[in-house]
């Protein structure tokens, strides 16, 4: 069984919270364990030592470089959620995206 600890980040964590919920369901269906949570940008630093990947909402793309610098000492992959996945709240698509980013 594969394990992924993922954190989604957006302003207040609302829309990313719905996406996290759908991604958890997709992961459970595939037998992938771990954690998939959503938090606001201000909380990210508290979770860097417990996650594998940090995914930012498309509207937070400008924070990617700053977040990547914070995450580097923790070996956390940082990327921006593609707009189509985010807009459709596509949990399956986000899980595929995260797995692909972690395997690079």
Residues that are catalytic: 10
Q: What is the dihedral of CA 54, 3, 89, 100, to 10 degrees?
A: 70
| Residue 54, both tokens | 């940090």
If you count them, how many residues does the chain have?
104
d(CA 104, CA 62): 22
């Amino acid at each position: 069984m594969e394990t992924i600890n993922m954190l989604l980040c957006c302003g207040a964590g609302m829309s990313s919270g719905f996406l996290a919920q759908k991604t958890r369901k997709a992961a459970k269906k595939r037998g992938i364990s771990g954690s998939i949570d959503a938090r606001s940008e201000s909380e990210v630093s508290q979770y860097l030592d417990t996650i594998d990947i940090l995914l930012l909402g498309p509207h937070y793309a400008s924070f990617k470089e700053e977040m990547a610098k914070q995450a580097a000492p923790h070996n956390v992959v940082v990327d921006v959620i593609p707009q189509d996945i985010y807009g459709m709240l596509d949990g399956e698509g986000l899980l595929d995206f995260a797995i692909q980013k972690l395997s690079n």
